[in-house]
Amino acid sequence: MKKLFLILGLTLAVSLQLTAQTYTIDTATVSYENKLRPCFTVTYDASPKTVKKAWDDYFKKTYDVKVKGIGFLTNKEVIIATDITILAIGDKRMNMYASVVDAPGERSELSYFMSFGYDFFIGPENYPAEFTAMKKILNDFSVEFLTEFYGSEASRITREMKGLEKDIKKNNKDIKKNTKSARKKSKEVASGMEAKNISLQMENDQSKRKISELSKEIESIKVKQAGVIRN
């Protein structure tokens, strides 16, 4: 019976881990132009530069909106789109802001806020419907961005693992060749080949450890991919 409860407990823990949300959108405030502005915040595993580029690409593709402050020679903390219309929020002209900064653990925090004109910032009290629409847009972006980001990371890690496996295979062939050749060589030459084989085997051991680490990263990414759920 104890074993049954233990198995059920482990199954539940794994299930909760697999369905845990990867990102969470919070309502907060951000300091902009020496005033606190209502915003939504969300933390991503990607770097600020990666998030900013994805943000620009998403709004250009989805809403035909060009975001300023991110590019070849520009990388501002707050990226802006001014005098735009996003019908999913409203038919008025508006400004859109995204502050993207470093967060602990090689992550980034995005704070997303908008305004009508110079000082009419959208918030849950003065523009509740528009503020709710902003959250939907942030959810749309987050799901698309994280799905592509984790997929790209998984592909990159898989390629790295295949490269290491190829190196191990080549080293094993060289070790086998050196061992066979050493039998026909002088003692001094054979000793040198043995030393080379030891070095190749050390490279293999290091590659195997790296493959093991990368395998764990892949599993972690799978969990995060499963947790890309709207909130």
Tell me: the pLDDT tens digits for 161-215? 999 999 999 999 999 998 988 888 888 888 888 999 999 999 999 999 999 999 9
Say yes or no: 127 and 166 in one domain: no
Say yes or no: 135 and 161 in one domain: no
Domain boundary among 149, 172, 194: 149
Say yes or no: 132 and 58 in one domain: yes
Domain boundary among 96, 123, 149: 149
**pTM of the predicted model as reported, rounded to 2 decimal places:** 0.84
Task: Give the pLDDT band of residue 14 (cuts 50, 70, 90).
Answer: very low
**Confidence check: pLDDT of 152 > 70:** yes
Say yes or no: 54 and 82 in one domain: yes
pLDDT for the residue 72: 61
- What percent of the chain shows pLDDT beyond 70? 90
Domain boundary among 149, 171, 187: 149
Provide the residue range defining the domain that includes 110.
22-149
Say yes or no: 79 and 140 in one domain: yes
In this predicted model, what pLDDT tens digit does every residue of 19-74 receive, in sequence order? 578 999 999 999 999 999 999 999 999 999 999 999 999 999 999 999 999 876 56
**Number of domains forming the structure of the chain:** 2
Say yes or no: 118 and 193 in one domain: no
Say yes or no: 62 and 105 in one domain: yes
**Confidence check: pLDDT of 105 > 80:** yes
Say yes or no: 57 and 87 in one domain: yes
Say yes or no: 138 and 192 in one domain: no
Residue 13 covered by a domain = no
Residue 16 covered by a domain = no
Say yes or no: 52 and 161 in one domain: no
pLDDT for the residue 7: 37
3-state SS, one letter per residue, for the chain: CHHHHHHHHHHHHHHHHHHCCCCCCEEEEEEECCEEEEEEEEEECCCHHHHHHHHHHHHHHHHCCCCEEECCCCEEEEEEEEEECCCCCCCCCEEEEEEEEEECCCEEEEEEEEEECCCEECCCCCCHHHHHHHHHHHHHHHHHHHHHHHHHHHHHHHHHHHHHHHHHHHHHHHHHHHHHHHCCCCHHHHHHHHHHHHHHHHHHHHHHHHHHHHHHHHHHHHHHHHCCCCC
Average pLDDT, the chain: 90
Say yes or no: 136 and 176 in one domain: no
**Confidence check: pLDDT of 9 > 60:** no
